[in-house]
Amino acid sequence: MSPILLVSREIPNLSYHPSINHFDLTWEKPLSTLLGMGRAAGADFVEFFLEKANYISCLAEDDTITSITPRLSTGAGVRVFRGKQDCYVSTNNLTFSGLKQALEKALSILGFNLPQGSAFIPEINLEMFRDYAAAKNKDNWLSNCSNMQEMGDILLSANNKLNKTANHVQSRRAAYFRDWQEVLIASSDGIFARDIRLTQSVGYNLLCADGDNRSSIGKRDGDTSNPDFLRKWNYDTVAEEVAESAGKMLYADYVESGQYPVIMANQFGGVIFHEACGHLLETTQIERKSTPFMDKKGEKIAHENLTAWDEGLSENAFGSIDMDDEGMPPQRTLLIENGILKNFLSDRAGAIRTGHPRTGSGRRQSYSFAAASRMRNTYIDCGKYTLDEVFNSVDKGIYCKKMGGGSVGPTGEFNFGVDEAYLIENGKITKPLKGATLIGEAKEIMTKISMSSQDLALAAGFCGSVSGSIYVTVGQPHIKVDTITVGGR
């Protein structure tokens, strides 16, 4: 069947009333019409991203719930391309008129105007509706999550357990959030897809003090797709782990500055690869010419021991998605294989401007942001060494068991604090150390990761960049860095 042709003079009289309760097939007609308007105006590509979000966080400090923060939002963004140029406009008005006004604004910024008079406007022929929410029974997720009373009860019970487990406690914090999001994406290349995302995180932060001695240890877990996540949080086990680490760090000696071989633990140890290398493999960095790897595809950029992936497929992982924020299904992207740079992470704009193919990596915090190339679940893969072999290779060095915060420069210079560290002597972990900071540069440290064990593990994280703050996974097995600058006293 041929698409229906509208005449531009009919546009002011158009009226659509799609469902306001959830995104469904009633949105097909108005969105296909709007996309047709954008193409008829001369745009090379037009995309609409619609979102409804329901967020709540809860904080327990010591034995009191001190904060409950809800947030509701509804809105849409429209992106228009003219060659390699693009413009993004957002609105919280989801009426047909409101979306048309946002489209007209985006078109005008790029020098386009809607056709006038008797010009024909074809509707865009959208694909058969891809509804991941319906296909995977996601529509009841929100109602099945913990309510506010249950959130508070669990967090207070968790803090009570921590108080009984730790010594010299100065403060205890247990925090939880739930972020529910329904999205609908329609674009002029025919994409028409809906999804529901459910992201949750819970964790502890413990501060201990004894005289002049201080220690602060945190532990956070994250999940996607499980309404029962908070109910199943094993805070007894986590409390024991956090209390043990805080106790060891309370009386630890300060590390001496210098060059050391370093073993970095699995799970959140992968944050350095994420920050110092992963961001440099996003096409947003290539567009800015701010990555040392932009012309290195097919060349060796890391030790031959190192293989790294980015994917959106791992079950329940913090960065897993059924489609990215441009409607593309996720995929498993090989970044580095045996030290050789294989692929970059690319969104639609990245593909247009750099030529690197899309990888299902177009992500954004909300409708207020245009999608950009972003990481999902990013990790160094298992190596060939046992954990004993990794440790036995170090005569004197530092074991970084738990990483803290840090910063990364635009081309990969980094420094990261270490919350929990230990001295390694003759392949054995000996005394605890505190005050360690890892300092280096991405293109150098990648060549020095000479050993990886076989105990790959992932950890939840948060990533901020040009398209806002998103949920990601970092990870790695235990790795050995042959030498790195360790700042201390």
Looking at residue 380, what is its pLDDT? Answer: 97
DSSP state for residue 111 in the 8-state scheme: T
pLDDT tens-digit readout, 294-350: 999 999 999 999 999 999 999 999 999 999 999 999 999 999 999 999 999 999 999
**92 assigned to some structural domain:** yes
Is residue 410 located within the same domain as residue 472? yes
CA dist 354 to 84, 300, 351, 359, Å? 10, 21, 5, 13
Is residue 378 located within the same domain as residue 437? yes
Is residue 312 located within the same domain as residue 395? yes
**306 assigned to some structural domain:** yes
Is residue 399 located within the same domain as residue 370? yes
Is residue 123 located within the same domain as residue 153? no
Average pLDDT over residues 5-24: 83
Range(s) of the domain holding residue 207: 141-185+197-253
Split into its structural domains, the chain has a count of: 3
Is residue 442 located within the same domain as residue 300? yes
- Nearest CA to 220 among 205, 208, 209? 205
What's the CATH number where 221 sits?
3.30.160
Query: For residue 408, what is the enclosing H or E element?
Result: strand 396-408
**364 assigned to some structural domain:** yes
Is residue 299 located within the same domain as residue 403? yes
Is residue 331 located within the same domain as residue 359? yes
Structure tokens at 173: 């914090």
**191 assigned to some structural domain:** no
Looking at residue 13, what is its pLDDT? Answer: 76
Percent of the chain with pLDDT strictly greater than 90: 89
**406 assigned to some structural domain:** yes
Looking at residue 2, what is its pLDDT? Answer: 47
Is residue 480 located within the same domain as residue 428? yes
408 contacts: CB under 8 Å, gap ≥ 6: 275, 276, 279, 414
**478 assigned to some structural domain:** yes
**100 assigned to some structural domain:** yes
pLDDT tens-digit readout, 142-184: 999 999 999 999 999 999 999 999 999 999 999 999 999 999 9
pLDDT tens-digit readout, 237-290: 999 999 999 999 999 999 999 999 999 999 999 998 998 899 999 999 999 998
Is residue 347 located within the same domain as residue 218? no
Looking at residue 90, what is its pLDDT? Answer: 98
Q: What predicted TM-score, i.e. pTM, was given to this entire model?
A: 0.94
Is residue 377 located within the same domain as residue 297? yes
DSSP state for residue 300 in the 8-state scheme: B
Is residue 440 located within the same domain as residue 354? yes
Looking at residue 486, what is its pLDDT? Answer: 96
